[in-house]
Amino acid sequence: LITHFFNPPRYMRLLELVGGEHTRTEAQAAVRDFADRSLGKGVVKCKDTPGFIANRIGIYWIQVAVAEAMALGLTVEEADAVVGKPMGIPKTGVFGLSDLVGLDLLPHLMESMLRRLPANDPLRDRAAIPALIGKMIADGYTGRKGKGGF
């Protein structure tokens, strides 16, 4: 049984719960109930696939949104206003969410995904971490947990 908490767990409500072929249904139900009632988590059951559900969608969304915002010359505030609440995305928007999670996690998550995804997966076309984000990480600007972020 895999429990995937989102970073930072204190603020992120989502918990992905992944059962394996040998996971007992009652064990999974007990963990789900505990996470819901005791930890206040919104539990989503998912399969053991690269990135599970949220990271699989989220990393692609972040990569595309950041690249397009930069290409269009949008400010961080403009991009977060457009790609945020109006699209059903966390109220932080794309840049705010990246700061909350930690910019330094993006390259690690991408590397992990690329190791497990098939050669023809569309994420591979968007896999390059923007140079600006790479420089920010190198300079210690990793988001809320570092010197700052966007």
Residue 146 lies in a domain: no
**Residues 142/92, Cβ–Cβ less than 8 Å:** no
Residue 12 lies in a domain: yes
Within a domain: 130: yes
Instruction: Please indicate, yes or no, whether residues 68 and 133 belong to a single structural domain of this protein.
Output: yes
**86 and 13 both lie in a single domain:** no
Q: What percent of the chain has pLDDT over 90?
A: 66
Q: Examine the domain organization and report whether 58 and 97 are in the same domain.
A: yes
What is the tally of structural domains in the chain? 2
- For residue 134, CA distances in Å to 16, 47, 75, 91, 107 come to 28, 31, 18, 24, 8
- What CA–CA distances, in Å, run from 49 to 31, 57, 114, 125? 20, 12, 12, 19
* Residue numbers of the domain that contains 13: 2-46
Q: Do 19 and 66 share a domain, yes or no?
A: no
Give the end-to-end CA distance of the chain in Å, rounded to a whole number: 36
User: Quick one: 58 and 41 in the same domain?
Assistant: no
Q: Is the dihedral of CA 62, 47, 123, 110 positive or negative?
A: positive
128 with 92, same domain: the answer is yes
Question: The pTM is what?
Answer: 0.80
> Residues 87, 128: one domain?
yes
Q: Which amino acid is at 105?
A: L
**Shared-domain flag, residues 41 and 59:** no
pLDDT digits (tens, 9 = 90+) for 42-92: 999 999 999 999 999 889 888 888 899 999 999 999 998 888 777 777 778
Residues 114-150 pLDDT 10s = 999 999 999 999 999 988 999 999 999 999 989 999 8
